[in-house]
Structure 1
Amino acid sequence: MIIIYGIRDRLNPIKAKLSDVIQSCMTDILTLPASKRAHRIVPLDKEDFYFPADRSDSYTVIEINMMEGRKPDTKKALIKELFNRIETELGISPVDIEITIKEQPAHCWGFRGMTGDEAQDLKYRVNV
């Protein structure tokens, strides 16, 4: 699951494209199926979004929640590809993007009535 935070006036006009860009990176780097999109977009009023003074109103925070198992190089490649594609396709400078990857053990995930470590039918690999 991915949660995206930004200033409402900046985030709303680009949210569909930003979601597409993020999902394409997830598909290309993590080999997730394109249909495996779980994005939550949280547009905030400017007075509710505090961020460093040297960032612009385009400042965007992307939290990626996933089951643990990806290699450090894979996660680094994902972060770098997100910076690259967001800048190229949306014109947001990497200085205005903050990305965090939060990993939890598979047994801490619950979906389709089971925990992640019980799922035997995932259409993607976690250990990449």
Structure 2
Amino acid sequence: MPYTRIETRRGWIGERRQDVIEAVQRALCTGLLIPETDRCVFLTEYDADALIAPPGRGPSYMVIAVTLFSGRSLEAKRRLYRALVDELAPFGVPATDVKTVLVEAPREDWGFRGLPGSEVELGFKVEV
């Protein structure tokens, strides 16, 4: 049940906003082994003067912040990082323009339908 935010400069995506969101969703499924129906991805674009990026990064520089349940293995995280770079490459995004930040929280710190996440049957395994 990750909550994912993509933040980048305005302009380079153009009419491909939904395609970029879907690419990140596919990477989440590949990396974290979540079902395709587990979808919560937001894209925010900023004017060029509303952010600064590290030197040498291009106009497609982005930060992808994924808040997720604790418990994923280092291998799952590696799969996710690789899948994000692979899925974004067709948009002309070099690997150096992709920064990923994972924020892990225990299941009881999430609420769904009025219950703690630790009491909700997810239908998939978190410890992958």
TM over 0.5: yes
CA RMSD of aligned residues (A): 1.3
* Equivalent pair of 1:65/1:101 in contact (CA under 8 Å): yes
CA-CA distance at 1:11 after TM superposition = 3.7
- Deviation string 1:69-123 (CA, Å, 9 cap, x unpaired) is 1111111111112112211x2120011111111111111111221111111x212
CA-CA distance at 1:12 after TM superposition = 4.7
CA-CA distance at 1:126 after TM superposition = 0.6
Aligned equivalents of 2:58, 2:105: Cα separation in 1 = 32
CA-CA distance at 1:29 after TM superposition = 2.7
CA-CA distance at 1:14 after TM superposition = 2.8
Which residue of the partner structure matches residue 39 of structure 2?
37
Aligned equivalents of 1:13, 1:44: Cα separation in 2 = 15
Which residue of the partner structure matches residue 124 of structure 1?
124
What is the number of residues matched between the two proteins? 126
Match of 2:7 among 5, 8, 17: 5
Match of 1:83 among 67, 72, 85: 85
Q: Which 5+ residue runs of structure 2 have no aligned equivalent? A: none
* Equivalent pair of 1:29/1:77 in contact (CA under 8 Å): yes
Paired residue type of 1:109: W
Q: Which 5+ residue runs of structure 1 have no aligned equivalent? A: none
* Equivalent pair of 1:12/1:43 in contact (CA under 8 Å): no
SS in 2 for 1:9: coil
SS in 2 for 1:43: strand
Paired residue type of 1:96: D
Which residue of the partner structure matches residue 59 of structure 2?
57
SS in 2 for 1:10: coil
TM-score w.r.t. length of structure 1: 0.91
TM-score w.r.t. length of structure 2: 0.91
Which residue of the partner structure matches residue 108 of structure 2?
107
Distance verdict in 2 for CA 1:111–1:57, change over 3 Å? same
